[in-house]
Amino acid sequence: MKFISSLLLIAILSYVLGLFLPWWTIAIAAFVVCWLIPQKGFASFLSGFLAVFLLWGIMSYMISAANHDILAHRISELLLKKDNPTMLILVTGLIGGVVAGFAALSGSFAHKKLRRR
């Protein structure tokens, strides 16, 4: 339950912050949520990772679908040297996921430290 709610909160907060602030605020979202909601280290990493992996993955998938993958074909060719829109969407999710995952992990340790005081 904690896991699901953390995941949802991170995703929602990341989305909202992203509307106004730079992309790396996904790290702040993940850190804050995992700080407030205690979870084991790995679980917090996973909640952060999955939250933004899914958020970015789904958003880019939707954008690309509406675009008939026109840009994804070109950008995957440019960045991945391979014409593969799906892979570009996965890479997008992965990049966001890893950043949020580590931020979440760091947040979970912050939480435990505070509780022990």
Q: What residues make contact with other proteins under the rule CB under 8 A?
A: 15, 18-19, 22-24, 27, 31, 41, 56, 59-60, 63-64, 66-68, 70-72, 74-75, 77-79, 91-92, 95-96, 98-99, 102-103, 105-106, 109-110, 112-113, 116
Structure tokens of 76? Answer: 């995957």
Judge whether 69 and 61 are in contact, CB under 8 Å.
no
Which CB atom, from 9 or from 99, has the smaller least distance to other proteins?
99
Which residue lies nearer to other proteins by CB, 2 or 68?
A: 68
SS (H, E, C) 62-99: HHHHHCCCHHHHHHHHHHCCCCCHHHHHHHHHHHHHHH
Nearest distance from residue 83's CB to other proteins, in Å?
A: 9
